Structures are given as structure tokens and as C-alpha cells.
Structure 1
Amino acid sequence: MRIFHLFLPLLWFIAEGEIITLKEMYGEIRTPNFPDLYPSDSEVTWNITVPEGFRIRLYFIHFDLEPSYLCEYDYARVETDEQVLSTFCGRESTDTEQAPGKQVIVSPANFLSLTFRSDFSNEERYTGFDAHYSAVDVDECAEKSDEDMVCDHHCHNYIGGFYCSCRFGYLLHSDNRTCKVECSENLYTQRSGTISSADYPNPYPKSSDCLYRIELEEGFVVNLQFDDNFDIEDHPDVSCPYDFLKIKAGNKEYGPFCGVKSPGRIETGSNSVQILFHSDNSGENGGWKLSYTVTGISCPDLQAPLNGKIDPGPTKYTFKDQAVISCNTGYRVLKDNVEMESFQIECRKDGTWSNQIPKCQKMDLRMS
């Protein structure tokens, strides 16, 4: 039975407790006077800090404190900077619900605080506790989730930390976690081809700025056709603030494009096209793909000369197409006062023919 005195408020007063700082990788913590009886009106706090990349493992090998409802008299309290993890009191043999037993406490970070507090008196003899702590390695790689991945590609754990690496063809960003691609020197000079975001249709790399250039001779024009499967991170209220695709063709600009609606077909009207694709440091979107084709600048239709013909014809002629003018039997091509079997002209880059259509002149049978 606990005895209360007239000076109860004074007897409950406890002076500001002692604070002990522990920075070793392991250690033992005991109540004052252990294994003898611990003093009344006592408060001691042990603040344990280990290096980043570690957590703290704490357990009790002996525990004997005065029992009470909700541990309101004497207690051992384990907490972090932000929350109380456990509060213990009682004896292992008689009060297992509030005594720690074989419970092991692991801190969420590299700091843990253990506070011992005793009130003004004890009805029986209690010896306190004997606790042990040690730093344990955090396996950051094992703790990653799909929503918050530690590394973009590969995660490598070591004691006290981790590091990231990237798949072949990728570069590690300055944040040491994100994998980006080097994609600023992509030049296409063929008359047709396909271009896509890296890893398409899988999520494209983060923190990258990609430039794709299509460069052809003057006289050709580039036409783009985007696949329907188009997925670039967007925002419901702001136009393409995160990732975007822009196209520059001559003095024209198209975009920015983002979201899931494909730009479809774009006839650029230019022989030089730049495609810029930017991605920020977040998101898991599928990207984009396009095919491009080239058409030439058109030249005017040709009309065969009198008593002559054009091969090929009639047809639509574009840049670099050639046409051969020849004459019917008994006639010969006359160009600059020179007779010849046939004459060839070519469609030029400015949409004009390289020469005029020659005439067909009747042959002088006496000279044939």
C-alpha cells in the first residue's frame, strides 16, 4: 500500500533529469546503482546517435521496475525525435504486458532516446534494468518501393550506406540516383526512319534533354507521323510543366506536346527538323515514337514537244527526278542548234527544271 503525505505535491516534484549522450556503435545502459535498488525521484535520459545509414537495435536482458497503471509511477520510455515507441514498467515474471520481455526495438532512423524515471517512493524493492544497444545496417536497397525507388536502375548496399548504378547506355545523374541518357547528338540523314524516346514503350529516362535532328538536302521536306501510343507526363491545369516534346522546322515551331493525345501527322515543309524532348526527375510514363518520310519539292508538269515524247510521263515530278525527252521516228532532238538522240532534264531544289524542253526536228533524209 502506497503512503501519501500532506506534502504530496512536493514529493512528486522531480528535478530536471540527467542527459547522457552516447555515440558509440554499441553499448550497455543500466539504471543508477544497478544491480542494487535504483533511487527515487530520479530521471536519466540516454540519447543514442549512430552514423547515417544505420539504425539502433535496443533490447533488455533484465527488467524490474515498479508496476503501475499505464506506467504512471516508474517507467522506461523509448522514443525518437517525433514519437514514443514504447513505455515499459513492471516485472518480467508478473506483468508481461507492460514489461519488454524479449521484445527488440529498432529505431526508424539513426537516433533513439531511452529515459528512465522513478517517482518519490517504491512499495517494494526494484533493481531497475540492464539494456543493450547496437548499430545495425540499413539495407536501403531492400526497402525501396515502386513509388519511391532508391535507385532508378541498380541499387548496391554496403555497411552504412548504398550506391546506385545504371544500365549500359545510361549515365548517373548528379543526384547519384537518377539514370539519364546522353541523347543530344542524334543525327538522321536517311530519307526515312523511326525515332522514339529511350526504352519506348517502357518508361523513358528521367532528368534528360534529348535532341534529335533530321537533316536532308534542300529540296526535300520532312513529314512526321506519331504513333497513337503517346504518353508524356502532364498536368491537369498547367500546359506541360514537367516533361514535353517540341519540334522546330525552319521558322516554324510545334508544341510543346504532352499527355496521351498523339500529335498525329505533321508536315513540316522543311528539310531540317529538330525534335527536343525534356524530362524532369520524376514520373513513369511510356514515351513516344514517330516515323518520318521525305518528299521532294514539286516541279511543274511537263508537256512533250511536238513529234516527241517524255519518259517517264505523264507523272508528278519532285526534287531530283529526271525526265528524258526523245522524238518520234524521223525526228531528232534539237538543242542549241545541236541534233541529238535524246535530252535529259532534272527537277531542282527550288522547284524548277534544269533546262527547257527542246524541239523535235524532222531529220534530213539526204544526210541520214
Structure 2
Amino acid sequence: IGRFSGQDVPPSLLTTSHETTVYFHSDHSQNKPGFRFEYQAYELNECLDPEPFRYGVVVGAGYNVGQSISFECLPGYQLMGHSILTCEHGTTRNWDHPFPRCEVPCGGNITSDNGTIFSPGYPEEYPSSADCTWLITVATGLGETARKLGVFTDGEPNEPASSTSNQILVRFRSNTEKGGLFRINYQGM
């Protein structure tokens, strides 16, 4: 765990073993009044289980002291908080950061060749007066100039919109009445 000498008192030391050996060695140069050593045993509990992690997955199954786990969100969701947490030493078991969460962003830049866009707050209803813009960029297309693909309200379009450009801009504006949700699947060709 450590090696200490002189008159400086070391900080509290922690070990995860049920057995610890302390070696004391003096150098014969002079007599000193000695030392005092206090110890405390405690149960080696695990940190709290992060499951269920809504709209994402937890990578790693170790919840013991010193072990780390990471968090990943499902496609269409964004991680809010720290992606890697480590179980800390101490008499109580705590992660070094609060559990993150996965939320649907209101807009953003998307570069994957296929995926899904969800309405803000999905699967809950979107808020009133939302104004979100997503720019989707896929592998280079034929390079057609920008044109409006359509305006869609209250339901699905008759035919799926398509573009020969490698970029599309999706803008969602809700009215002042709260309610509804949507999911848009897209695929680059």
C-alpha cells in the first residue's frame, strides 16, 4: 500500500484484502517515543447496480472497489453525464460520479449513414413550442442543390421523402399545444 518514514503522518490507507501486514523498521540512530496505529475492518460491499439504464446499455459487470463500468445510449439518444464510472474505496461504496442518463436531443449534427431521429422527450410527448433542427450528413451523394422535400403535419407522409444530396436538414416546430411524438428513420444509399 505504501512506504512511510519520518514524522509526517500518512493519510488514511485502504485495502480490499482481509489481511494486511505492517512492517516496522528503525535505523538505530536515536530513540523515539514510538507510534500509534489504528485500524478498522468493514464489509466489502459492491457499489449500487446501475440497471436498469433507460434507453442505453451498461458495459462491464464489475461493481467492486476499483472496477469501472461505461454507459452507452441507444441510437437517437444522447448521454448526459459521465460515460465511465469507477467504484470508490471507503467504508461505504459509492461511484465516483452520479449515474448518467440518456435523453433525446432537440436537434444536432448527425453523421451516421442510417439511424433514427426521435421527437424531444421521446417516448414521452414533446413539449409545446419546441423548435429543433437536425443536420444529417451521409456519404457523398450526387450533389443536387438544396430543395425542400416537403412539409409534414399530423401523420405520416403518403410517400417517404428522398434526396439525392448527401445532406438533409430536418426542422421540427411544435405548436403551443403540448402533445404527440414522432420517430423518423433514415437511410443513406
Q: Which has the larger radius of gyration?
A: 1
Q: What TM-score do the two structures reach when normalised by structure 2? A: 0.39
Q: What TM-score do the two structures reach when normalised by structure 1? A: 0.21
Q: Which has the higher contact order (CA 8 A, sep 6+)?
A: 2
